[in-house]
Structure 1
Amino acid sequence: MPAEDEAGALQSRRFLWLYALASAGGSIAYVPFLTILLPMRVTAMAGNDDVAWLAYATFFGAIAASLSNIAFGWASDRTRRRAPWIAAGLLASSLLLGAFGFARSPAAIIVLLVGWQLALNMMLAPLAAWAGDHVPDAQKGRLGGLLAFAPAAGAAAGVLVTLPGLASADARLWLVAGLVVLCVMPVLLLGRPRTIAGLAREQEIEQSDAQPHGEVVRMWLARLLVQVSEAALFAFLFFWFRAIDPEMTDARVAQTFGLILLGAVPLALLAGRWADRHDRPFAPLTLCAAGAALGLSVMAAAPGLEAALAGYVLFGLSASIFLSLHSAQTLRVLPRARHRGRDLGLFNLTNTGPSLVMPWLTLALVPAFGFTGLFLALAVFALAATLLLLRMPNLSSPLAKARDACETVN
């Protein structure tokens, strides 16, 4: 173990891995439910009106998630404790998830969905801020790499709970809840994070040491632009592939999506470790945003299925790595440690906002310009994110700051 680690300058590997497992649990909590289990329930109840009811549910759920993430992040800042909020949110969201089995109307589902989103974000908001409390800048690249496990775990859980004959529709809800508990509880019981000097919530960061406001805005906008692109692809990918090749099946699309998420994990780990070692936290983000723009451009010009798949793989890998690393490096630019939970809630709007924007963007572009027009617009978004990140400083860790100071003196 490195001397720095023994001295407490770095966080323990145990906490990092258990935290990554808990983050995967957060993804498992909503990915299978929102993408598979909820639409199936709405269709079973609403019949031909399922699209409209699902749109209402998605809209109100996104609003509840956005507001509650900010509120519970702020609440955990005020109480100066994260773990009790995480545990309470885990319990409440698990019980409410199981309660969907008792819903008998689409309206009841929407009410339950809003309550479930409130409880889920009671867990997710403090969990996100907890990493900022205990993971120093020198390990944020590694943390970002570990966070790449989360979307892969969410997709894998969706496959698991829908295996034919494994569980009934109601039992699937409790199965998801059980998986989330198994993932989140270990960090609460066994994590025991070290206290790292300079990261404590009680510490007030001097204004002169705070990150410039422009850096925070650039990071926020860059994530929003990439998230809009990913949200559009997530919702309409199948329709695009079928437009290119009518023989393309939903199973093959799902397999491609899953392979991309799995492939992003080792690449994100490598990129994160490289960023830590070379004190260049934003270089991999810039490269991934550029890769996403290139992938979307290839997709827009794809003459056939092979080129389309190649472009989508490039985009999918770039976007997945970007989002994982961005989640960790965001902690670096937040200006006030004592408002970390609240500020992360504001960053979370880049996750929930695209689900409200994306349908209108798609409806405005696809009928007039086809998917080519949509992908070109999304490529411009990703390119704009690249340009925003090019203006971020390459070196921002304490080691890099000391190095810059020495070079200035010499």
Structure 2
Amino acid sequence: MSSPVPLAPRASRALPLYALAAAGGVVGYLPLLTLLLPIKVELLAGEARIGVLTATVLAGAAAASLANILFGWLSDRSVAAGGGRRIWVTAGLVGTGMAFAAIAAAVTPLAIVLSIAAFQIAINAVLAPLFAMMAEEVPDDRKGLAGGLLALGSPLAAAVSAVLLSLTALGEAMRLALVWLTLAGCVLPIVLTRPTRKPDPGASDALPPAPARRDLAAAWAGRLLMQVAGNVLSLYLLYYIESIAPGHGPIALAPHIGSLMTIAFIVPLPLAILLGRVSDLTGRRKPVLLGAALVAALGLAGMALAASWPAAAIAFGIYVAGSQVYLALHTGFAMQLLPDPRRRGRDLGLLNLTNTLPAILGPLLTWLLATPSDFAPLMIVLAVLTVSGGLITMLVRQRR
């Protein structure tokens, strides 16, 4: 890879806009998949909720996997043709609004499955070009800071969830409309700016060297294993809490879970930003990534042992602290490993499989290991996978 380009003043000013846009992307999917969709599925399917939600998520994950690679590649083609990636982000925003309307109108399991698949296609038309823009326009010596700022997304999304669920007078369609407006408001500022750096033309058609491919594969595998637990908890946290606090319905629990998520995601935010900047200055990211994975695994073990709502909440907070630091710093870490500047969108789409494949693996593990009243075996398995992900990340040789 070519040496990093010095950070221009305009790029420095735009860095918060990249972070805001990425946060908007999280707002686009987290409130829906974590709380609004599980509530809708439980009201529709009752005791069959785990099966129906699993089928919905599997269809959405398949659609997201293909869509992210497709729109990343299409944005690469646009750049090669002299255009840019921002047009695809705009198209994705429009498509996401249409998908939210379809979700609100869905009243059968099949309609929910199809509307969630459409949503995943649309939201990935936003996210794939957006992260390629970040990889392209943020220099390497600021990628740790940029990664730390990405941790802003989860607390913002959790806060949006909490606010939406506290407004009991709002119907489902209005809640989804507010999610879309927040998404658009966060993403449009960066879409309306000009690129701060031009793509590096010094790419070759030759395959990257074997060490580069191995390093990217190790980073890919480590994040994949880390993301399985995150996917399970983003989808089934409501059901897990119901197993710890029986006798409380989803409508009653949802506002409390929204508040828990907001607090849990805010706490690690300054730590992720600080450690991201420290990793920029020291050039050492792997020790932080391993430590974060071990903290996340400790939280999952605590969730397996928890027998009360307070204990479960504390353990969840520990898990979130570790996982958010890991995922935020890993994003910048992986961007530095991309072997071909001309194919950033495609390669990030392949890397994004670490976000979408867990949406297949996680629900399957949940279906096999969890029941509506017992999630402990599942949490133990997730803790083991999380430690394994941190250890595999250490196999990367190009970067410290």
The normalised TM-score by structure 2 is 0.85
1:67 maps to 66
Corresponding residue for residue 229 of structure 2:
229
Q: Distance in 2 between matches of 1:65 and 1:234?
A: 16
Tell me how far apart the structure 2 counterparts of residues 329 and 384 of structure 1 sit (CA, whole Å).
18
Cα distance in 2 for residues equivalent to 1:184 and 1:329: 23
In the other structure, the counterpart of 1:170 is 173
2:94 aligned residue: 91
In the other structure, the counterpart of 1:216 is 216
- Find the aligned partners of 2:49 and 2:370 in 1 and give their Cα distance: 23
Tell me how far 1:175 sits from its aligned partner. Answer: 1.7
CA-to-partner distance for each residue in 1:341-378, whole Å, 9 max, x for gaps? 111111111112122212332344457xx655433322
1:64/1:211 CA distance change after superposition, 3 Å: same
User: In 2 relative to 1, CA 245–390 (structure 1 residues): closer, same or farther, beyond 3 Å?
Assistant: same
Q: How does 1:90-109 map to 2 (within 5 A)?
A: 90-103=93-106, 105-109=108-112
Does 2:192 correspond to 1:189?
yes
Q: 1:136 aligns with which of 135, 139, 143?
A: 139
CA distance in 2, matches of 1:41, 1:376: 28
- The number of equivalent residue pairs is 386
Q: Kindly provide the amino acid, as one letter, of the partner of residue 90 in structure 2.
A: A
Could you list the per-position Cα deviations for residues 287-323 of structure 1 after superposition, in whole angstroms to 9, with x for gaps in the alignment? 1112223333444456876665544322220011111
> What amino acid does structure 2 have at the position aligned with 1:221?
A
Q: Paired residue for 2:159?
A: 156
Query: Per-residue displacement from partner, 1:3-54 (whole Å, max 9, x unpaired)?
Result: x99x646772321101111111111111222233334445566677665443
Q: Which moved more, 1:272-281 or 1:236-245?
A: 236-245
Can you list the C-alpha shifts for 1:216-260, whole angstroms capped at 9, x where unaligned?
111111111111122334445455556566599835444333211
| Counterpart among 328, 331, 344 of residue 327 in structure 1 | 331
Partner Cα separation in structure 2 for residue 88 and residue 208 of structure 1: 32
Q: Is the 8 A contact 2:45 2:52 kept in 1?
A: yes
- Amino acid across the alignment from 2:196: R
Is the deviation greater in 290-299 or in 54-63? 290-299
1:317 and 2:321 equivalent? yes
Check 1:52–1:298 CA distance in 2 against 1; reply closer, same or farther (3 A cut). closer
Query: Distance between the aligned counterparts of 1:308 and 1:35, measured in 2?
Result: 17
Preserved contact between residue 11 and residue 134 of structure 1 (Cα < 8 Å): no
For 2:17, give the aligned amino acid. Answer: L
- Paired residues for 1:197-346 under 5 Å: 200-204=199-203, 212-237=212-237, 250=253, 251-300=255-304, 308-346=312-350
Secondary structure of the corresponding residue to residue 162 of structure 1: helix
Q: Which residue of 1 aligns with 2:389?
A: 385
1:80-101 CA-partner distances (Å, limit 9, x unpaired): 1211111111122123323444
Hey, what's the Cα distance between the residues in 2 that align with 1:115 and 1:241?
A: 29
CA contact (8 A) 1:284 1:322 kept: yes
Counterpart of 1:145 in structure 2 is 148
Asked if the contact 1:211–1:335 (Cα under 8 Å) also holds between the matched residues in 2, the reply is no
Mapped to 1, the partners of 2:138 and 2:288 lie a distance apart of 19
Moved more, 370-379 or 237-246: 237-246
SS of residue in 2 equivalent to 1:203: coil
Q: Displacement of 1:156 after TM fit?
A: 1.5
What's the counterpart of residue 32 of structure 1? 31
Q: Deviations over 1:135-163 (max 9, x none)?
A: 11101110011100111121112222333
Distance 2:300 2:115 in 1: 37
Moved more, 37-46 or 256-265: 37-46
Instruction: Tell me by how many angstroms 1:71 deviates.
Output: 0.8
Letter in 2 for 1:392: V
Contact 1:145 1:325 in 2 (8 A): yes
CA deviations over 1:169-214 (Å, ceiling 9, x no partner)? 2222222221111111111113x34226xxx253305867886211
Q: Which amino acid aligns with 1:339?
A: R
Say if 1:213 and 1:170 are closer, same or farther in 2 by CA, change over 3 A: same
C-alpha distance 394-9 of structure 1, shift in aligned 2 (>3 A): farther
Q: How far, CA to CA, are the matches of 1:244 and 1:107 in structure 2?
A: 30
Could you say if the C-alpha distance between residues 175 and 304 of structure 1 is closer, same or farther in structure 2, counting changes exceeding 3 Å? Answer: closer
The 1:33/1:296 distance shift into structure 2, 3 A limit, reads closer
TM-score in terms of structure 1 length? 0.83
Contact 1:87 1:123 in 2 (8 A): yes
One-letter code aligned to 2:55: Y
Q: Does the Cα contact within 8 Å between 1:77 and 1:201 map onto a contact in 2?
A: no
Structure 2 runs not aligned, ≥5 long: none
> Are the structure 2 counterparts of residues 357 and 383 from structure 1 closer, same or farther at C-alpha, using a change threshold of 3 Å?
same
Q: Does residue 82 of structure 1 match 2:81?
A: no
State the alpha-carbon separation in 1 of the partners of residues 301 and 105 from structure 2.
Answer: 46
Greater shift, 86-95 or 375-384, is seen at: 375-384
Task: For residue 268 of structure 2, give the secondary structure of its aligned residue in structure 1.
Answer: helix
For residues 109 and 375 of structure 2, the distance between their equivalents in structure 1, rounded to whole angstroms, comes to 32
8 Å contact kept, 2:161–2:258:
no
In structure 2, C-alpha distance between the alignment counterparts of 1:279 and 1:204, rounded to whole Å: 24
Is 1:349 equivalent to 2:348 in the alignment?
no
Task: Give 1:119 shift.
Answer: 1.9
Give the match for residue 403 of structure 1: none
Change (3 A) 1:388 1:20: same
Cα pair distance change 1:228/1:134, threshold 3 Å:
same
Q: CA deviation at 1:110?
A: 3.0
CA contact (8 A) 1:144 1:327 kept: yes
